[in-house]
Structure 1
Amino acid sequence: MAPSAIEPFYSDRDGLALEDLSDDIDAVNVLKDQLKKEKAMHEKSEFDAEKDKTQFRQYEEACDRVKNFYREQHEKQSVAYNLKARNDFKFKSRASMTIWEAMEKLNTLIDESDPDTSLSQIEHLLQSAEAIRRDGKPRWMQLTGLIHDLGKLLFFYGAEGQWDVVGDTFPVGCAFDKRIIYPDTFNGNPDHDHDIYGTKYGIYTPGCGMDNIMLSWGHDEYLYHIVKDQSTLPAEALAMIRYHSFYPWHSASAYMEFMDEHDHKMLEAVRAFNPYDLYSKSDDVPSVEVLKPYYLELIDEFFPNKVIKW
């Protein structure tokens, strides 16, 4: 597709800075990740068995910047903002392009900022997908690994900053759980002491199901809504996309009171996906040209319309 056919990105946005922050967030999540790694989909991942996961990042250097980021995110992710963000998503046009074009677009803007690897963004996405493929996981899960971070394109399509693109996610409209990272930084959020939003259940009811919970807006929610409406990926893939940054839930077991029967299966799926999100980086460079035909076929299998509305 010719560049003129795609709505321009915001030229003043620093994609490298966004990805560097995203990597620091991953570093902190690796540090606090205590999940039991769960083949079929739920069997223990093998690709990361011999990796020293403590060596992926310098956590001490990451923590200060991450905490400052979360302070801003936690103060600004209110019910009012989330309603506005979803309304903007529904009614504002952004761009139309294929999945692979979206990967290439992300590659030009978010690249070469990771101290753990010299890989480009496309190579990193392929690395995640290939780790899932090598472990013998389903084709739909391989594709999910390939696309799960494409929602970062949101940064260039009207996001207000980094705080509404990356970071751990959490429900809005009810009390902020103490198991969310840096819970003390919610004090400046207008919903913190709200008569309804500040209560345990807020606008929800126990057992209402996670499908009915409004999670903080960012690249997960953005991509989830795109994929839900424009692909044939199964519910487990949608859950992996929507919840992979929902660490208070899948890692710390917060907000379990809102789960319905369907959510228990989805939680297993997210936990099975988590190692491929955090630990797939290495210095092995996948060949984009060799792998591209396989993944183009995989994309076509689950995205009936080649051109996606972003």
Structure 2
Amino acid sequence: MGDKPSDAPEHCPGTESENAGKVSACAGCPNQNVCASGAARGPDPSVELVRARMSGVKKKLFVLSGKGGVGKSTFANLLARSLAARSPDKNVALLDIDICGPSQPRMMGALNEQVHQSGSGWCPVYVEENLALMSIGFLLGSPDDAVIWRGPKKNNMIKQFLSEVDWGDSLDYLILDTPPGTSDEHLSATSYLVSRTPGEDDGARAILITTPAEVSIADVRREATFCKRVGLKVVGVVENMATFVCPHCKVTSEIFPRDSGGGEKLSEEMELPFLGSVPLDPILARACDEGQDVLNTMADSPTLLAISSIVDRILAAV
């Protein structure tokens, strides 16, 4: 192999390998420390492919949360629908990079749709004329199929999403629905979309989703730290499920304790803008799970009214 140094041991994995400097064959090799640091690897050619495809995308909005079950996918869904409905002349896309738990095909009412490949790349599914959706859920044989992949395969899938999906000539907003945590999918997406050039505005921003519960607040602190380390600017914090709205009497009540002050207190501590609180409407949550366009059927929902104000703040910030 051409990427092996002349003085490398017999079973050297090569300087371009992810295992360079880390396997037993590397023990005692004079190049071990350099290889393990990654300094010997050449630039990833995929970065330029992604940049070429993403050159027509103006804003990339990551919807992040350190913890699962906080309504992140629902918020990403409603954010994408809201942006598309507000400006019919603008193009919006929702990219579901939750590789192991894709939920957007169901929530967008596109569960049985398929993507097709053309000379210009994969054609996403169009939910509305100006709202496109891409998810690994469209590539599975059944919605019940399990995706049991390690990190490198997830990275390749996300790289394909970013470099091979044909979003059209111009895309105003790309919403990225991410899985919980700060792991493979997050590192892959930010490595391609977040610029490392000082002073360059790459259009990438993060929106952090939490609930008032302390276990969620603690995980979002870690998510904010992740954003800082990878250079991803944060638009602000959204407190989801802040209260429960009874569908019968319309009385609101708190379902999570606010011992730590909730999302607003977290925003103050992290010196991040607080975008607003969103109440839990069980009827709307059920409608989203069924793939309904709730912006048209439930416009008076307190959840949608709160999200409308949050979208105003997001647009003002980006």
Query: So what's the TM-score if we normalise by structure 2?
Result: 0.27
Q: Which has the higher strand share?
A: 2
Instruction: Please say which structure displays the higher CA radius of gyration.
Output: 2
**Higher RCO by CA contacts (8 Å cutoff, separation 6 or greater):** 1
Q: Which has the higher helix share?
A: 1
